A and B are shown apart, each in its own frame.
Chain A
Amino acid sequence: MTHTPAAIALSVQGLQKTIGKRTIIRNITFDVQAGEVFGFLGPNGAGKTTTIRMIVGLIAPTAGRILIDGHDVRTDFLAAMHKVGCIVENPEMYKYMTGWQNLEHFATMLGDCTEERIHEVVQLVKMDARIHDKVKSYSLGMRQRLGIAQALLGRPKLLILDEPTNGLDPAGIRELREFIRTLAAEEGLAVFVSSHMLAEVQMMCDRVAILSGGEIVKVTSVHDIVEHGENRVEWTVDPLDIAHRVIAQELRNQPLEQVGTTKLVATVTRAQTAQINEKLIAAGVHLYSVTIQNQLEELFLQITGGESIA
């Protein structure tokens, strides 16, 4: 988590892409700072991959600018690409070569990458044991790690991972999450992670941009929302009438809803939630569960729900 004002590793300004008559990306603007993990959240088809492809120069934008560590991707492609490592969609490597040969191949393309650096990244992603096996014998998790090793070869300022947890098992996801957090915290890397899963972004990222229909709906700090924002809280209690009275007293004029015969729902801050819980127990109410739905989730559900209806 960044508290000091950090350098901007990636700056996307007014990005737009039109293919034929369809505008698939509309006026996207955001910055990613060094040392932060930035989530790019949106349902499938929202334009995440298209945006990433524009950032790494695979697709030419119709309008807008992309700066990687201050270098414009369109006018200063080589300098910009020196500062970025990426996995776009699946971690595809040359299957008929070994992991090591693949890394050598991409190290050659960087120009100034030494063999020691290849050893370093191999150790970093813990691939030492299998690095001299053919890539076609690797599991998806190992390919993902090899992909990250490749992305880190050139000591980039910005690491771009497109849906990195796709196809990983829970242990793999957890490992990846910790690895990404370490990279950001210890090496000061800016990590840009796209995902269609909210939970993942909440656990992994410092800030998040929510994308829908090719537009950014909201850019916000994950931390702020969870700790300081107001969240929808759902209490499962018994008896309901006493609980209703206790909570209403705490809320004063804020609305309180009843759901079914055992649940009460209100939008409150974290501090209020703790206070209400204390009061409920003091009043002798059986408190079975307290579920917090934060704003992000609500917003995300609204967006994705809205899309499936439309």
Chain B
Amino acid sequence: MRNLLALTRNETLKVLRKRRFFVVVLILLCLIPLFTYGQYTSEQRLLAKVGTTDWKAQLQTQITETEHRMQSSYLPDEQKKILALQVEQNKYYLDRGINPKSTGATTFTRFFMQYGVSLFLPLLVIVVATDIVSSEHSEGTIKLLLTRPVKRWKILLSKYLTLLIYTTLTVVITGVACYLISGLFFGYQGWDAPMFTGFQIANGTFDASHVQVIPHWRLLLMNYGLGWISVIVVATLSFMVSVLVRSTAAGMGVMLAILIGGNILVQLAADFPLAKYLFTSHLRLTDYVNGTPLPIPDVTLGFSLAILTLWTFGGLLVSFLTFTRRDVLA
């Protein structure tokens, strides 16, 4: 155990000294302000259109109107429930003087994960993941690494643990940087704003029977938790590619093709029967909690997690079997 810890320390130091992770952080620190600024200007334009001064009056009118609609006896109970939740949410904004049309750092941080989870974050993760084993081959250092008195599976495990550490760090840094940077523009409020979650789509109809209101910080955590699971899956499969392919560039190419191809497939042919079983179709786990429609019909969170778990274990199995048995030729 102590041995494994020391090995993992070795590997984390190598990634750090190689400055690859540094590049990932740099990309984040360049792009987040850019996205923040983009969001900020589009919001300003919207506010200019709607009018910035009388939003409180507007919100009050909206609440009254909704309350009226709820009186109607024609309305099904489910609809009433949603309206009640909307009223609750709007009252929260009104009480605290938060304009619901303006973003707030917490909302921006959630959006970033929601939109980044299927492609942007996986791209960041593969920078380190595809390099971590293949570079030992391309640099020739694998010959030294594997002729030391350490079992091969332990060396690979220490590399995988290192990858998990850096992948988790990527998610954490994304969240923290988003909040801190976007807060400069939008303000740091909104942690306890009431949010809806629990929408379900069953047999093509919108099912609101499980909808509940949770504070925003919980929704944010759920988003980042699910996003973390998605990128761990991507990291694991890139790790497998890194074991199989001896050149980092080739591995990166393979992963890019898979990720981008998977994204296109989901958009073009979501009802293609095999699509359900591809891991790329299930990367947008955050959709399950944000109430946005899912890309693939008739799947549940449980099904998605099961598929992702299968791919992860498959990837690990291939990685370890290959790495421990393979002849290290030239």
Contact = CB atoms under 8 A, between A and B. Distances in A.
B10 A108 contact: yes
Given A97-B17, A101-B17, A59 B149 contact: no
Interface residues of B, number: 27
A92 B140 contact: yes
A110 B6 CA distance: 10
Given A101-B17, A106-B148, 14 more contacts: A57-B146, A58-B328, A82-B149, A84-B147, A89-B140, A89-B143, A92-B143, A96-B18, A96-B19, A109-B7, A109-B10, A109-B148, A109-B150, A111-B3
Nearest to A92: B140
A56 B139 contact: no
A30 interface: no
A58 B9 CA distance: 24
A58 B144 contact: no
Nearest to B6: A108
Nearest to B18: A96
A111 B19 CA distance: 26
Contacts of B19: 96
B329 interface: yes
Nearest to A153: B148
Interface string A78-97: 11011010101110111111
Contact of A92 (B141, B149, B330): B141
Interface in B11-26: 13-14, 17-19
A53 B141 contact: no
Interface residues of A, number: 32
Contacts of A150: 144
A109 B13 CA distance: 14
Most buried by A among B7, B10, B18, B327: B327
Interface in A93-151: 93-97, 101, 105-106, 108-111, 150
B151 interface: yes
A77 interface: yes
B327 A95 contact: no
Interface string B263-286: 000000000000000000000000
18 contacts: A53-B143, A53-B329, A56-B143, A56-B147, A57-B146, A57-B147, A58-B143, A59-B329, A78-B149, A88-B147, A89-B330, A96-B17, A96-B18, A97-B17, A108-B7, A109-B148, A109-B150, A111-B149
Contacts of A49: 330
Contacts of A53: 143, 327-329
Contacts of B145: 109
Interface string B173-207: 00000000000000000000000000000000000
Contact of A77 (B7, B18, B151, B328): B151
Contacts of A81: 147-150
B328 A90 contact: no
A84 B147 CA distance: 9
Contacts of A90: 140
A83 to B, nearest CB: 9
A110 B148 contact: yes
B138 to A, nearest CB: 10
Contacts of B17: 94, 96-97, 101
A78 B151 contact: yes
